[in-house]
Structure 1
Amino acid sequence: MKTLDLHASADMLHMHPSTVLAKARAGEIPAAKPGLLLRIYELLLTATREEIDAMARSLAEIE
Protein backbone atom coordinates (compact mmCIF):
# COMPACT_ATOMS: atom_id res chain seq x y z
CA MET A 1 0.00 0.00 0.00
CA LYS A 2 1.43 3.38 -1.03
CA THR A 3 2.05 5.96 1.68
CA LEU A 4 2.40 9.72 1.42
CA ASP A 5 4.36 12.16 3.53
CA LEU A 6 2.80 15.21 5.13
CA HIS A 7 3.44 17.58 2.23
CA ALA A 8 2.20 15.19 -0.46
CA SER A 9 -0.92 14.54 1.61
CA ALA A 10 -1.50 18.28 2.02
CA ASP A 11 -1.17 18.79 -1.74
CA MET A 12 -3.63 15.99 -2.42
CA LEU A 13 -6.18 17.41 0.03
CA HIS A 14 -5.58 21.04 -0.98
CA MET A 15 -4.81 21.92 2.64
CA HIS A 16 -1.90 23.50 4.47
CA PRO A 17 0.51 20.89 5.94
CA SER A 18 -0.13 22.16 9.48
CA THR A 19 -3.88 21.59 8.98
CA VAL A 20 -3.25 18.03 7.78
CA LEU A 21 -0.96 17.41 10.76
CA ALA A 22 -3.58 18.72 13.20
CA LYS A 23 -6.28 16.56 11.60
CA ALA A 24 -4.00 13.49 11.73
CA ARG A 25 -3.25 14.11 15.41
CA ALA A 26 -6.98 14.48 16.09
CA GLY A 27 -7.70 11.20 14.29
CA GLU A 28 -9.68 12.88 11.50
CA ILE A 29 -7.16 11.68 8.90
CA PRO A 30 -5.87 8.10 9.21
CA ALA A 31 -2.10 8.18 9.67
CA ALA A 32 0.80 6.26 11.21
CA LYS A 33 4.01 7.54 12.73
CA PRO A 34 6.83 5.00 12.43
CA GLY A 35 9.71 6.74 14.15
CA LEU A 36 9.79 10.46 13.49
CA LEU A 37 7.94 10.48 10.15
CA LEU A 38 4.20 10.86 9.73
CA ARG A 39 2.93 8.56 6.97
CA ILE A 40 -0.56 8.62 5.51
CA TYR A 41 -1.94 5.77 3.42
CA GLU A 42 -2.97 7.08 0.01
CA LEU A 43 -5.91 4.68 -0.29
CA LEU A 44 -7.34 5.77 3.07
CA LEU A 45 -6.72 9.43 2.25
CA THR A 46 -8.58 9.05 -1.05
CA ALA A 47 -11.54 7.50 0.76
CA THR A 48 -11.43 10.33 3.27
CA ARG A 49 -11.39 12.92 0.47
CA GLU A 50 -14.40 11.25 -1.19
CA GLU A 51 -16.29 11.33 2.11
CA ILE A 52 -15.47 15.02 2.54
CA ASP A 53 -16.70 15.76 -1.00
CA ALA A 54 -19.93 13.81 -0.38
CA MET A 55 -20.58 15.76 2.81
CA ALA A 56 -19.93 19.05 1.01
CA ARG A 57 -22.42 18.09 -1.72
CA SER A 58 -25.01 17.16 0.90
CA LEU A 59 -24.56 20.48 2.68
CA ALA A 60 -24.85 22.38 -0.60
CA GLU A 61 -28.17 20.66 -1.32
CA ILE A 62 -29.54 21.73 2.08
CA GLU A 63 -28.75 25.42 1.52
Structure 2
Amino acid sequence: MKLSYELSTALLSTVAIVLVQPQLTLALTASEVNAIAQKITVLIAQEEQQVAYPKYPIN
Protein backbone atom coordinates (compact mmCIF):
# COMPACT_ATOMS: atom_id res chain seq x y z
CA MET A 1 0.00 0.00 0.00
CA LYS A 2 2.84 2.37 0.86
CA LEU A 3 4.49 1.70 -2.51
CA SER A 4 1.26 2.56 -4.30
CA TYR A 5 1.00 5.86 -2.40
CA GLU A 6 4.64 6.77 -3.14
CA LEU A 7 4.27 5.83 -6.80
CA SER A 8 1.12 7.90 -7.23
CA THR A 9 2.76 10.86 -5.47
CA ALA A 10 5.81 10.64 -7.73
CA LEU A 11 3.65 10.36 -10.83
CA LEU A 12 1.47 13.30 -9.81
CA SER A 13 4.57 15.40 -9.07
CA THR A 14 6.05 14.58 -12.47
CA VAL A 15 2.83 15.52 -14.25
CA ALA A 16 2.68 18.82 -12.32
CA ILE A 17 6.26 19.67 -13.29
CA VAL A 18 5.61 18.92 -16.96
CA LEU A 19 2.49 21.09 -17.00
CA VAL A 20 4.04 24.04 -15.16
CA GLN A 21 7.35 24.21 -17.03
CA PRO A 22 7.58 27.06 -19.55
CA GLN A 23 7.38 26.40 -23.25
CA LEU A 24 10.50 25.85 -25.35
CA THR A 25 12.23 29.13 -26.16
CA LEU A 26 14.59 30.01 -28.96
CA ALA A 27 17.59 32.32 -28.72
CA LEU A 28 17.78 35.49 -30.78
CA THR A 29 20.09 35.57 -33.77
CA ALA A 30 23.15 37.81 -33.74
CA SER A 31 21.49 40.27 -36.14
CA GLU A 32 18.39 40.50 -33.91
CA VAL A 33 20.55 41.19 -30.85
CA ASN A 34 22.50 43.81 -32.81
CA ALA A 35 19.28 45.56 -33.89
CA ILE A 36 18.08 45.77 -30.28
CA ALA A 37 21.50 46.95 -29.06
CA GLN A 38 21.60 49.77 -31.61
CA LYS A 39 18.23 51.04 -30.36
CA ILE A 40 19.22 51.15 -26.69
CA THR A 41 22.97 51.94 -26.74
CA VAL A 42 23.87 55.40 -25.45
CA LEU A 43 27.14 57.33 -25.20
CA ILE A 44 27.91 58.89 -21.83
CA ALA A 45 30.18 61.86 -22.46
CA GLN A 46 32.62 63.11 -19.82
CA GLU A 47 33.65 66.72 -19.36
CA GLU A 48 37.30 65.84 -18.82
CA GLN A 49 39.34 62.86 -19.90
CA GLN A 50 39.85 60.33 -17.12
CA VAL A 51 41.80 57.11 -17.00
CA ALA A 52 40.09 54.14 -15.43
CA TYR A 53 42.32 51.83 -13.42
CA PRO A 54 41.18 48.31 -12.55
CA LYS A 55 40.20 47.79 -8.94
CA TYR A 56 42.35 44.68 -8.79
CA PRO A 57 45.62 44.92 -10.77
CA ILE A 58 46.08 42.31 -13.47
CA ASN A 59 49.26 40.31 -12.90
**TM-score, with length taken from structure 1:** 0.29
- Give the number of the structure with larger relative contact order, counting CA–CA contacts within 8 Å between residues 6 or more apart: 1
Question: If you compute each CA radius of gyration, which structure gives the higher value, 1 or 2?
Answer: 2
Query: Counting helix residues as a fraction of each chain, which structure ranks higher?
Result: 1
**TM-score, with length taken from structure 2:** 0.30
Query: Counting strand residues as a fraction of each chain, which structure ranks higher?
Result: 1
